Chain A
């Protein structure tokens, strides 16, 4: 008799997911499917609105990576009005650097939140610990000093965002062709020197290394488990600069294989020529893949793990992150790393990388210069634009078209979580396999639920935005027989 296990979050919030595990008569896992409800309404909603509202409205998709959405939209608008990368126009230095600063600040803030609030508790207390302990509340009890530093780091990141966008969340800075303000000297000094209740840049660099220490410690003690947990193949993709290293704001899309061969490299304006999206009746979320390589072989991983796999080295101006990256690369001896839990290692490296990149920018006088906007010449309007950035969770794409009056007629967004859809499914399947494969009694244990949660969380998918505060995904697990009758059922609530 074949069975189906259904793991379904009970939460009613947007962006929830559910897991179904299929088993055959020989107690083998035949498939595992992660369902993510994706809210696509924004793409419709923006149609008919003035083009310039797109980055303002669409950033509301997310309460965490809104700067990425804002910038992605802004880059698309630069194209549209005729001063963007598609027209071969280089950005002015000040607006580009201001945009970058906000983006790095957000990455710092987002990674710190995901890593310390959700992932570290799993590492510190172990996957089998009670859910009540495996969250940030448990962390406060176990290591109050660490939590204090984490909170301070987050706050500093938010201050960085606010200094540029005017608000901690969903502010506005980028406008077609540039930005509406630079980083004031005053704001710059506050971020560098700190003030009452705000740490200094030196402290930021110090605290930003905590994540790596926690990971290393955890890894040293649990090497076998960590490395064996859901090692799943995928191509790796991110935006790269001319040297072939990650650029979170702009670059070419590079895709590498296990041996780090470049198998595709493209100008993201041509993404439609390279990517196709598969749909499945069981999932609302699409499955993008590289046309030339097919649905299975051509699906990519994006996000921290993909970026550190693609990148050869960080710039010398980021020495601490650079050293950390070298160590990471050494671990897999030059091959791409497919170990899902190493995503958290990569995330810890990127926390440090964001901090060091911000340090470089905060010491750059260009940020206080006044040349903020490129005004398009007459008839420069192209009516179409594509923007891509490396959001904390991976490559994010916005593509818009507008008519000659300036109304948006088309919008397509490809978010990182969608890019990761296939590899997330592989992860869930791998986890299910190791817990259930070959067992007579396919029992849904606490351990299985935890492991699935940990596997999904490594990608920090947008569905986890909603559960960040809880530090735990609410789950309900059901086992159904082939006849549709329930065999077993297990609930886990959010609190």
Chain B
């Protein structure tokens, strides 16, 4: 069934039930996302895709379109709100892009550029996050985790379908955990996929690093915006 909605005042047709992020993208409007991956169930954890739906702030990836919805994506207030959310993610972790292996391929970094963030307006917390490098082929750099939960939901033991990653603790004490035993059973390509799936440089494949030269890295070749608007899997 087709419904009519407006995005930033433009009337567009959409398939009922599609989420706002996808519909906006189909119509050339980019909404930044960090936890949402097209084709995978929505997680709704990062809130980076916040838009106003009929005046209320909502996470666009979690909302299916309905007839008559008025969606404000690029209004000044909501744009700044999204920027603030990204800044909070930087303020919460300890991010040092210049030496980070994920740099150039990192969705948080790329989104930071997209929302035109220069520096966080919030004080950096400098919370120490102990690393976990115990597994054979994964560095777990907790300083960079944004708790998107992609790994928690989508990376599972091939045999048992058990979760390999989990989040332990709540609020400021939350931390990502890795089941070293299961992680050590992960085949190389699954490690690679997990590292790809993590939007930031928290899950890093120990066997392959800095292999793509500067200028040729993922988001340098094609920006995160272009990828989001281009459809298909990012």
Q: Which residues of A contact B (CB under 8 A)?
A: 48-50, 52-53, 56-57, 60, 165-167, 170-173, 175-176, 180-181, 405-407
Contact = CB atoms under 8 A, between A and B. Distances in A.
Given A50-B204, A406-B139, A406-B206, A180 B211 contact: yes
B98 A57 contact: yes
Contacts of B141: 50
A172 B213 contact: yes
B98 A170 contact: yes
Interface string B76-117: 000000000000000000001011110000000000000000
B131 interface: yes
A83 to B, nearest CB: 14
Chief secondary structure at chain A's binding surface: loop
A252 B100 CA distance: 33
Nearest to B213: A181
Contacts of B139: 50, 406
20 contacts: A48-B131, A50-B133, A50-B206, A52-B209, A53-B99, A53-B100, A57-B96, A57-B98, A166-B215, A171-B214, A172-B213, A172-B214, A175-B211, A176-B209, A180-B211, A180-B213, A181-B216, A405-B133, A406-B133, A407-B133
Contacts of B134: 405
A50 to B, nearest CB: 5
Contacts of A165: 214
B210 interface: yes
Counting from the closest, the 5 A-B pairs by CB-CB distance are A166-B214, A57-B99, A56-B99, A405-B133, A181-B213
A60 B215 CA distance: 19
Given A171-B214, A407-B131, 10 more contacts: A48-B131, A49-B99, A50-B101, A50-B133, A52-B210, A57-B99, A166-B216, A181-B213, A181-B216, A406-B139
B3 interface: no
Chief secondary structure at chain B's binding surface: loop
Interface size class of chain B, counting residues whose CB lies under 8 Å from the partner chain: 20 to 34
Nearest to B141: A50
B214 A52 contact: no
A56 B98 contact: yes
B221 interface: no
A49 B133 CA distance: 9
Contacts of B96: 57
A167 B214 contact: yes
Contacts of B99: 49, 53, 56-57, 60
B188 interface: no
Interface centre among A52, A57, A170, A176 (most CB of B within 10 A): A52
B210 A56 contact: yes
Contact of A52 (B98, B101, B131, B213): B101
B119 interface: no
Contacts of B12: none
B212 interface: yes
Contacts of A53: 99-101
Contacts of A56: 98-99, 210
Nearest to A58: B99
Contacts of B209: 52, 175-176
A175 B213 CA distance: 10
Contacts of A57: 96, 98-99
B210 A175 contact: yes
A173 B209 CA distance: 11
B30 to A, nearest CB: 27
Interface centre among A50, A167, A176 (most CB of B within 10 A): A50
